[in-house]
Structures are given as C-alpha cells and as structure tokens.
Amino acid sequence: MPPLTLTAGTRLGPYEILSLLGVGGMGEVYRATDTKLKRQVAIKVLPAALTADHDRLARFQREAEVLASLNHPNIAAIHGLEESDGLKALVMELVEGPTLADRIARGAIPLDEALPIAKQIADALEAAHEPGIIHRDLKPANIKVRPDGTVKVLDFGLAKVMDPTGASSVNATMSPTLSMHATQAGIILGTAAYMSPEQAVGKPVDKRADLWAFGVVLLEMLTGKPVFTGETVSHVLASVLKTEPDWTALPSETPAPIRKLLRRCLEKDLKRRLNSAADARLEIDDLLSGRAEPTTAVATISAAVPMWRRTLPWALLGSALVVLAAVLALWAPWRTAPPAAPVRLEVTIGVDASLVTLNASLASAPDGSLLAFAAQSSQGTQQLYLRRLGELRAVPLAGTANARNPFFSPDGQWIGFFAEGKLKKIAVTGGAAVTLCDAPSGRGGTWAEDGSIVFQPSPTGSGLVRVSSAGGTPAPLTTLASGDLTQRWPQVLPGGTAVLYTAHTSVTGFDDATIVVQPLPDGVPKVVRRGGFYGRYLRSGHLVYVHQGTLFAEPFDLARLEPTGQPVPVVEGISNFSGSGFGGMDGAAGSALVAWTEAGTLMYLAGQSAGGEAPIQWMDRAGQVSPLRATPANWSNPSLAPDGRRLAIDINNGQTDVWVYEWARDTLTRVTFDAAADTTPVWTPDGRRIVFRSNRDKSLSLYWQRADGTGDVQRLTESQNSQYPASWHPSGKFLAFSETRPQTSNDLMILPIDGDEASGWKPGKPTVFLGTPFIEVEPMFSPDGRWIAYQSNESGRLEMYVRPFPGPGGKWLVSTDGGTFPTWSRTRHEIFYASPDNRLMVASYAVEGDSFKADKPRVWSERRFSVRPRLRSFDLHPDGERFVLAAAPDNESAVKQDKLVFIFNFFDELRRLAPVATR
C-alpha cells in the first residue's frame, strides 16, 4: 500500500514538506524545501512495496546513482535518496511549468512549436541511451515545458524498479506503469497508450521502446489527440498491437521528413524501427536548420521560426510585435515558397551591465539557442553572460571572472574563453571552469569538430597554436609570414581541412589587414582577401569579412579554398574593432561583434568602428567646442607640446606617420617618413624630441626623432614585444611605457636615459615598474614626478590608479565607475580620465607626506568625445582649461552598445546578393 499522505511541515532529513504535488502508482510527490541549500525540490515518497524489499531498494539505489550522472539540460536531475522515520524518498529537481499533457489538452501544437520540443526530448533520450539507461515510460505527463521553452523529461528509469500494483486506471491512456525488471521477459512495462508492441506482450525491451514512445508523443503533439485508445487497458494494448495510427490526422503541411520519422518510430517490427534517438534529433535539426531534402512537403522550416518564437518575449518591447506580424504575413515558413526576404528584428541585449568592448566578442551556439558575451557588472566584475533566446534577460555565468572572447563547442554544450592568461572552458549549464593551457592574451579561438581548439596565444610574434579541448600543451599550427605582426581570430573550416584567420603587418588598424586560409595539417597559406578582417566562412557558401564597419560577402569554394566572385556589401553599422589596439589593450583589435547560427540567422551589435576622418577640436569645461584644425584627417594619439603651441598626432594616409601641427601658422609638418607604421607620439619635457612606436625592423619598439624632422631616427629599445610610449618624467631622465609581455600580459616599464644633446643620448636597460597577470597600461608621470597614474583591470574592469615613483609604496584607486587614459593637470591638483561612456572625468587630489588622496570624481564636461583608432583620443592643454579631441555629435548617445539586431533568412539574402556557383 502507498504511504500515508504527509502534511506540511513534515521533515525528511534536511527537507521540509510544503505541499502535495500529485499521486500516482509510483508514489506521492511533494514540494519541499532543502533547508541546507535553501532551494525547493520535489520529493517522491516510494511505495511500501519497494521500501520493504531490501534487494529492490539496493537495486534502485544503484539505478539512482547512474541516473544522477546524467547531467543534461533536458533531463530533470536526481539529487539523491533520503530515509527518515521509516519513509524512503527520492529527492529530485523541482521543475516548474505545465506538463506536455497539459499543453496537448488545449489542442494540437503547431509544427514550429512542436519540433523544438521534440528535438529536446530526443536530446534527452540520446543522453540517457548512451550509458544504457532506458526510460520505458515516456509520455506527455512525464515531460514538462518550462516558460522559457526548455523541456525537462521526468522519471527517467523509475519504471524499471517498480512492482506491479494491481491497480488499473479509469483513464486507460494514463494507466499506471507496471513492472519491476526493465528487460525481463513476461513482464508488462510502461503506460499502455505509449507502450511499444514488445512491451505490450511482455518481451525484452531496449532503447527502441523509447523511440516508439517518442513517436507516439510527437504524433499526439501534432494531432492533439491520443494515438492508441480503448475503453480499458486491454483494449489500448490491443490497439498498440494491431492497429495503425491515423496518419490522415496529421496536418496537411507536415513536412515529409517528419512523416517519415513518425513512421520509422512507430514500426511494429522491431527490426524496421528507428534505432537511435540521435537519428531522430538530426532529422528534426536538419529541418529546423534548413538542411532538409528539397522533396519535402515544405522545402525548409527556417531556423528563424524557432528563433522568433523563442524570442517572442523580446518582441513585447515596443514595435517588435509589428515586425513579427510581418514575419507571419510575408514569410510563411510553413508553406513551400521562394527564398524568403530577410526580416530584421532589433532588441536590447538583455543585461544591465556594460559590454566590455575592449576585450569582448559575441558568440552564438550553433543552433542559435544561446548567446555568450563578456560584460562588466555595476560592481566592476567582468565575466561571461549567457542569454537564452527565449528569455528577456542575460545572466552571468559563475566562474568566468575576467573572461573575454568566448566561443562555443560544435555541440553547443561548452564555451571556451580566455581569462587571467589561460585558455579555459566551462559547461553552458554552469559549474567549475576548466583550465586547458596557458594563453597570455588570447586573440580568438575556434573549437574544431575533431575536439581540438585552435587559438592565438599572444598579440604579436606568434602564429596560431592548437591544443586538445581536454587540455595539454599547445602545438604550433601556423607561422608568421614575412612582415606579419599577428595572426588572430581563427576559424577551422567545416570538415577540418583548413583554418581561416586574419593576418596583419602593421599597427595602423585592421581595415587594411588580410584574410588568409591555410590547408591542414601543413598546407601552404594563401591570401583570399586583402583589405578586411574577421573573416568567416558561412554554410551558405560565402566568405564574409568586415571593412570600415560594413560586412562584405563573396562566394567561396570550400573545396578549392578560394573566392569565386566579387565581394558585395551586405550589412552596415556593425560594431567592430578595426584599431590596432585601444589603450595598449589589444584584446579585441581585428574583431567584430557579429555571430551566425548554422541555420542562417545573423546577429550583431549595432554600432560603428572608431576612427575615420574627422576635424581636430578644442573642448572646454562647459562643453563648448571650437575648431583647432578644421581639415578632416584620419588622426589619432594627440599629444600637446609642453609650450602649448604645437600638437603631435599620427595620421593614416595609406601609411601612418607622425606629424606636428602649429595652429598659429596653420602648418602641418611630417616628422617621420619610413614606410613602416609610426604611431603614438610623446613629447620630451623640453619639447625638442618626439618618442614614437614603430614596426620598422619588424618589431614594435620605441624610437625618437627631432620634433622638426631633422637628424636621424634613433632606436631606444630592442624588443620583439609590443611597446607603447606614454610619458616622460619631468627631469627627462625616465620614459614610462607599457609592454605586452607573454609571461604577465601588459606591464608598466621604465626606460632610463643618460647623456644630453651635446654628448649624445644613451638609453639604458628598461626595468619593470609594475608587472602582474593583469593589464596595466598608460603610465603617466605627475608634473612633480612623484607619482605614476595608470589604468588596470585588476578589479575585473578598467580603473585608474596612482602609485608613488620610483616606489615602493601602496596604490590608490581614483576612478569609481571605470576609468581609462589618466591625464594630469599642470596648473591644478587635478587628474582627468575617460569614463566608459566617453565623457571626461576629473578628480581633485591632495598629497600628505607619502600619501595620495583623491576626491570623488566628477564629470568635467557632459559633452562626449568620439573615440579615435589606435590609442588615445584626447590630450589636455598645459593651461588645464581645454582638451584637444574630436567631439561627439550632439545627438550621439552613450557608447554603451546594447542594440542587438537579428536578420532572419540571412543566408537566402546572401545567395541573392552574391549567387553561389553550382557545379
């Protein structure tokens, strides 16, 4: 007999009963509170017939242990067994939401809703069958559909240990499960209406019994009525054994692959029945992704259909409902039709945190069900966020502190990312992150179908490497070609026959980079496109890449690894990072915030890249803007001379050089003339020389030159690492700069300089001022030389700090909500920096002995500035009253990028704009 009904407040170990959820032949199910872990669970109190038999209970314990190992998002988890006061209970995950039986009771389920549900059920069966677990009681009442569309299959394996109760149900289609031993002949197992024929006659069963039940459930979803019926259990079993389903009840628009799948699942002859849940899942996935055979009753069901249904809650935000109505009216994916027109849907990305655009990329799971990106919380914690496309909000993924540049595994179950100088992975369901290997910087990764990961370990001086997704020592995969400074953002092409990547030879920005493909394992690399970056091959048969904020596409022959047509522009306004490195941080340079699903949906963050031609302007505290040099140019890194009458900048006119502008005479004088890229000018304290960084001599070292352009260029440092000059000590004896070092990321360095103009200057050996695993850049000497201000991400986001020079001593945090590019005033005790939304902030400070004390920062001007490429975007005049910069337009909003754009049927549009040749 079943146990007595428990009352609210009853305790079973650490669990307190709250209410009765249901009663069945397998026991009573209660809602309970786990008082230790502060969560709600489901408690199934086992029947007395089971608890009295120690052999059966031991067998059930072993089964529960196996089931507990099924860590799958579509299987309700088993937490354990509990015994208290003679009662034995199973502790399970509490799954909210209606059962599939409740949903079917409202009528037939539309195809575009039913197929994603069926795919998740097949996923669950596949995961269970692999370790040999058979459900044996799959039915709509054992399947729940959560509000976000996630399917949870319940009661895995419970039926295989249950005894006959002798009871029969009035409702024959929901009759109790019968039997104890899973595969024992002569014992009937399963709910009558969903039993396989072999179950109905008591024969041994295997996983094909579950596939029969899967077919019954799917057919019932599509028709809205039971497949096998009868007045009693015996009549239902007779129907299972003798009658065929009513195939005419299927909706007329049901695709041929689904009709075929149903017939394969419901073959009474066991030898002709579908043999694998994976085959069922693949059949449905092909249909959802548009890869189904063209002979189907419906040519394809675009992945955009489940996408927009899953994103329906987003559409409640304003005018998106109108867009969805247009999808239904014009697109009609359930009918055979010509290639559908693209449909654009715009929503917010669903997170209050700020996107970490300096070290971020947008990644989509292959099936489009998940988006991953790096963001920074209001508490300053940078980590990965996941957004399920059926939910309104993105949620942080624990264990991913300081993460950047995520990418998915081919099955969508894992995310690879870079953090704290390591390549790591983490399951999309959460848990502990697994460290795979060292990756000092990590400029893009790609997870290949063979289980390996190809990635770029450091910003310069290294080709691509490959490591097992299980971890190990990376092995070199590519080598830098002559002149290349970097290879990054790889993509292993379908079939693993080649790797595509972005290569670059200069530091002037990635709009003039090249897209390269290298056959694997050891083929000869070849350039497939010049003048673009972030190349990706799409299953539509196209190569796409970014140039000046626009996505271009061209047909691409995967077999010959070469384009077969001319590139055409397809999407404008994609957020990207064309600069060579922002603030000395190269973590996102050469990438774009764009992703695709395998089925053909494009997702990107709307925005524009930094840079382009612009005038140079003054801006004062009131936000008033006046021209400094009205002639637009592609300039960056403004540096005002100590005399306040000259401005050094670097300008990209096909090649990048250092120029000096004297506004009183309106003259612009070129200082460097080498074919290399010369950038980031910094004046010496006496205003006679300019230090800059250059990639001449195939390095990224520091050089200097007379400010009037006369004399020879002198090399100051000898390093293969990437270096950025920042500021001079007022004595002129020390140069502070940052260096990207493989061991410790970006560090603060000091270069001593001896000698003078008459006897000659003698650079000394650079020393490390601050070297940690974090990113420290932009070291700026105070006017009195006692302090160095810099920016660091040690808190999880970029903040501005001050330390004493030459040290030792403590550090003081100046910014309170993110801060970059520290700048000292020479006339007041004020220090400036840039906020994350591109406003200038200022903090007054005082010095008391060896202590530095900064006041609360305040906005210096509400007017925002436009970000320039390559490094700095502003500098403060020596009078401390005005900045040189490019002001943002009056109508330009904050730079927080949260406008996520979907373009459904994107592959169809690509084929229209850039037709793929057929053989």
Cβ atoms within 10 A of the Cβ of 316, count?
10
Burial class from Cβ neighbours inside 10 Å (0-12, 13-18, 19+) for residue 231 reads exposed
Q: Tokens 């999880």: give the residue.
A: 796
Burial class from Cβ neighbours inside 10 Å (0-12, 13-18, 19+) for residue 761 reads middle
- Which two structure tokens, joined as six digits, stand for 384? 């990965």
The CA distance from 713 to 608, in Å, is 36
Strands (E), 99-212: 143-145, 151-153
Residue 238 is inside which H or E element, if any? helix 233-242
Q: Which of 325, 280, 268 is nearest to 125 (CA)?
A: 280
DSSP 311-323: THHHHTSTTHHHH
Q: Tokens 């109905």: give the residue.
A: 200
Tell me the one-letter amino acid at 374: A
Cβ atoms within 10 A of the Cβ of 352, count?
11
Strands (E), 815-904: 820-824, 830-834, 840-848, 851-854, 858-861, 875-876, 882-885, 899-904
Q: Is 16 helix (H, G, I), strand (E, B) or coil?
A: strand
Q: In sequence order, what are the residues at sequence separation of 6 or more whose Cβ sits closer than 8 angstroms to the Cβ of residue 80?
A: 64, 68, 91
Q: Is 399 helix (H, G, I), strand (E, B) or coil?
A: coil
The CA distance from 480 to 516, in Å, is 11
Burial class from Cβ neighbours inside 10 Å (0-12, 13-18, 19+) for residue 96 reads exposed
- 195 CB-side CA count, 13 A: 36
- Which one from 137, 210, 285, 657 is the annotated catalytic residue? 137
The CA distance from 462 to 443, in Å, is 11
Tell me the one-letter amino acid at 591: S
Burial class from Cβ neighbours inside 10 Å (0-12, 13-18, 19+) for residue 882 reads middle
C-alpha 772: how far from chain center: 26
- Which two structure tokens, joined as six digits, stand for 838? 């591109």
The CA distance from 85 to 81, in Å, is 14
The CA distance from 651 to 47, in Å, is 80
Cβ atoms within 10 A of the Cβ of 141, count?
20
Q: Which of 140, 122, 281, 143 is nearest to 210 (CA)?
A: 122
Please count the residues of the chain: 919
The CA distance from 599 to 305, in Å, is 11
The CA distance from 187 to 241, in Å, is 16
- Which two structure tokens, joined as six digits, stand for 401? 């502190």
The residues pairing with 452 across neighbouring beta strands, listed in sequence order, are: 468
Are 414 and 469 contacting, i.e. CB atoms less than 8 angstroms apart? yes
Q: Which of 189, 204, 218 is nearest to 277 (CA)?
A: 218
Task: Assess whether 137 carries a catalytic annotation.
Answer: yes
Q: Is 774 helix (H, G, I), strand (E, B) or coil?
A: coil
The residues pairing with 647 across neighbouring beta strands, listed in sequence order, are: 640, 661
The residues pairing with 372 across neighbouring beta strands, listed in sequence order, are: 363, 386
> Catalytic positions, please?
137
